[in-house]
Each structure stands twice: as structure tokens, then as C-alpha cells.
Structure 1
Amino acid sequence: METTGTEPDPWTGVLLAGGRSSRMGRDKAHLAWRGQTLLAHACATLRTAGAANVIVSGHYPECAGIPDAEPGLGPLGGLASVVQAMPDGVLVVVPVDMPLLTPALLQLLASQDATACVAYRDHILPMRLRLDDRCRTAIARLVDDPAARRSLRALHEALGGEFIPAPTEHLAELVNCNTPQQWEAAAP
């Protein structure tokens, strides 16, 4: 993994929390995790990792969440809504349903220099994006084309993204909790 060896540029954490949570059967963002909601936990993890700012995708007035401009487009639709009003810069995008992520793993991802889009091998999230005109155009093309594969994986491909290996000691953090069974397995 190539890093600069210096402090990473300031970056913004983007928390994707606008999903329907249909497999979980209830809003994942409001699940209790170690004395707080999953939403609060994920925001705190991003801040501890060094995010200069945290933006939440989803209708969560308690944290100035940004609802999807066009519902039903999944994580890509949430990201598209968030980036509309953001300045250029580095984003670290995480889903609300990965409670085991640690600041160290996010810091490592944030410190990657190079490509427009970086994610850990075999995992599209968390993802580091360089938000600029090229990235905004790629997102808009995917969202606006009904025949397109509207996914973060398609965005990664459109940007010529890179997959990097996650350090072995952090692999267990890359677990999504989409179902009650996955939640029970991860919950403390």
C-alpha cells in the first residue's frame, strides 16, 4: 500500500445511512451499539479517525442528514445527494452497518495517495474518493442512466479505482450487519 508518509490531507467522512434496512427489519442507524446508536457510533468513529467533517446521507434531522434527492438508488443515490453541495476534496465513505470499523483502518484508507477511488480488496466499502469534477460527472452519469449499473462498484470501475489489501489484523472489521443474524454475530 502506497502512502505519503505524512499526515493525509483533510478529509470528510460520509456516512451512508439512508437505506431501507429491509433485511434487518428496522432502521439500522437506530440500533444500540455500546451505549449509543449505530449512527452516533459511526459518526464518532469517523471523527476519531480524523475526519474534519462528517456528513450523513439519510433523513436524520438530529445530525443534519441529507435525504436522497432520488430515493431508491441505494448507496450511490445517497452519495450523489451528499456530493452535490460539497467542495472538492477527499472523502472516506462508510456504511452505517459496519460497526466494527476502527479509526486505524479508516486512517489507513484516508492516507492513500494516488487514484480517484480506493477500497479494500473484496469490499467496496469503506471507500476513499477524490471528489472533483471527474468524480461528480461519473456519479451523475450512473445516476442519470436508467440502463447503468447504479452501484458504488460501478463508480469504482468508472473512476479506474484501485483495490488494496486490508491488513490481516483488520479483516474482521469489514463486516456488514444487514440481517438480525449478522447483527447478533457482531454485537458485543
Structure 2
Amino acid sequence: MATHSAYFEHVHAFLLCGGQSRRMGKDKATLSYQGDTFEQRVKRMALQSGVKDIFTVGGKGRDIVDEKPFHGPAAAAISALTKGCTTAQLKQFEILLLLPVDMPLLSNKVLRRLIECSIKGQQSYFFNYDWFPLAIYQPFRYYDSLNRLLAASPMPSMKALARVCEAQSISLPTSLHHQLINVNTPLEFARLAKVS
């Protein structure tokens, strides 16, 4: 778990590091970009945006170990939220930010905008109908509903998770759209330098 000294007191993040990375052919968290691994880079951006604590979610050695790996990011996030955290912890989370490890172009500016919108609007938000990053406002309120979603579908979609959390889409300036790019293949990785 990573922490930072200048933060929003009750804003926390799950950094989703699971997945088989079949298309990439190697663990995306370990890919190097501009001197950092993807994992290090996304963590740093989150800390600089004001996130208090970052919990990595994935396989063995992560802060929260995914009980049912390879069931998709929504299942990993729900399992981490409902089984990896105590009730007391969840009640302290005003905002829970869900971050994928394969978005290395995310900036602290964009993440902070999402956090501030969620705090001000008292609402869960994401950008431009891209499910990541997702800011869940008061996630404890959705504890039971998310458990039911996972029980009904072992591989729920991020769309379904966002719907349960009553998340709304907000716009992001066109000049910042490239920050929402997921890097899933060697070709997409090779193109990073052209879009950053």
C-alpha cells in the first residue's frame, strides 16, 4: 500500500494489476515507460492527485489478492471492495478510485479533476463513457448491491458495476482524451511515444 503526505483525507484507490495479459504477452504492470514501470507511473500520478492510500489488487504479493483471478476488472474490484476491506475501512472511504495498471498516460491533473468532481457532486463519475478511471462516491453504500451483482454474474462488466454505483459520465477536454488509452498489445505499447 502506497501513501503520500499531501492528500484528500478520505480518498483511496484500488490499482487493478490482475489479468492474464495474453495479448501483450507479459505482465503489463512491469512494462517500462519513461523510466518507470506502468505500475510505478500510475501509482505516482494517483499520489500526486491527492489519493491518500493505494491498494494494489491482483495475484500473489498484492495488497489485496484477487480470490477469483482472471474474471475481469469489475469482478476483481468488487471482490477487493467486499472481501478485501473491512467494514470499518469501507465506511472511511469517501471516494474509491478504480485505476487500471495499463493506462500509463493518465496524469495527476485528470485524476484530480475526477476526484474533485466526485466530492463536489457527491456522485460516482467516469470520463467520456470510458469506465476507467472510475471514482465511486461512498462505496460502502453499494456494498450489498455489488455483492449481489457478483453473485448473479461471476464476470460482470464495468458497465454493470458503474450502473450499480450510480456513476455518471462527465466530459474531458479533447486535448486530454489520449490519457484514457489502454495499452493492451505490443503495437499499442510501441505507439505510446507518439501520443504522449
Please say whether Structure 1 and Structure 2 have the same fold, judged by a TM-score greater than 0.5: yes
The RMSD of aligned alpha carbons is 2.0
**Aligned partners of 1:38 and 1:108: how far apart in 2?**
21
* Matched residue SS, 2:132: coil
**Which residue of 2 is the match for residue 3 of structure 1?**
none
Change (3 A) 1:153 1:110: same
**Which residue of 2 is the match for residue 126 of structure 1?**
133
**Which residue of 2 is the match for residue 4 of structure 1?**
none
**Which residue of 2 is the match for residue 32 of structure 1?**
32
Change (3 A) 1:9 1:108: farther
**Aligned partners of 1:11 and 1:129: how far apart in 2?**
10
* Matched residue SS, 2:56: strand
**Which residue of 2 is the match for residue 111 of structure 1?**
116
**Which residue of 2 is the match for residue 76 of structure 1?**
74
Report the residue type matching 2:23 in the other structure. R
**Aligned partners of 2:141 and 2:10: how far apart in 1?**
20
* Matched residue SS, 2:177: helix
Report the residue type matching 1:123 in the other structure. D
Give the superposition deviation at 1:117: 2.1
Report the residue type matching 1:11 in the other structure. V
Report the residue type matching 2:11 in the other structure. W
**Which residue of 2 is the match for residue 140 of structure 1?**
147
Give the superposition deviation at 1:9: 5.8
User: Could you tell me the TM-score, scaled by structure 1's length?
Assistant: 0.86
Is residue 178 of structure 1 aligned with residue 184 of structure 2? yes
**CA-to-aligned-CA distance 1:163-187 (integer Å, 9 cap, x gap):** 0001222111110001111111114
User: Could you tell me the TM-score, scaled by structure 2's length?
Assistant: 0.83
* Matched residue SS, 1:100: coil
**Aligned partners of 1:87 and 1:159: how far apart in 2?**
14
The answer to which structure has the higher helix fraction is 2
Quick one: percent identity of the two aligned structures? 27
Asked if the contact 2:139/2:165 (under 8 Å) is kept, the reply is: no
5+ residue gaps, structure 1, are 1-6
